Each structure stands twice: as structure tokens, then as C-alpha cells.
Amino acid sequence: MSGTRDAVFSRLLKLKDRMLSTKPTICLERARFYTDVYWRFEAKPLNVRRALILEQTLENASIFIDECELKIGN
């Protein structure tokens, strides 16, 4: 049981170190989805454009699986 606890603790320490040492970034892919939808559907209401952005993102965003994660995605 102690081995499992040590493995979990080790994984959490790696995640914490990575989170604290990583500089924040902007997702250019998501920014392109926003820009594209806002220009193509500028006459639509804001809530409709936001729904279209979500649709575009869910259908086309790259899948990223990071090391040590139990839940995946970005």
C-alpha cells in the first residue's frame, strides 16, 4: 500500500513542479477559431457566435495528452 501512496505522491509533486514552473501561454489554435467564427458570423447574436466557437473548437481542436495526467485534455 505504501508503494502506491509513494507513486501517487511522486506524480503529484511532478505535476505541482510543472504547474509552478510553466509560463502561461495563449492557445493560438483557439484564438484562430474565435477569429474565424467572429468574422464569418458577425451578424449573428453574441450567444450564437459563442456556441459556434465551442462547436468549432470541439470538432477541430488538437488532442493533447500530457505526461502524468489522469484526466486529459486542454
Instruction: Mark out the alpha helices in the chain (DSSP H runs).
Output: 2-21, 28-40, 46-60
Give pLDDT tens digits along the chain (74 positions): 567 888 888 888 888 898 899 888 888 999 999 999 999 999 999 999 999 999 999 999 988 787 767 777 66
Domain edges within the chain: 24-74
Report the amino acid identity of residue 31: A
* CB-based contact 41:52 (threshold 8 Å): yes
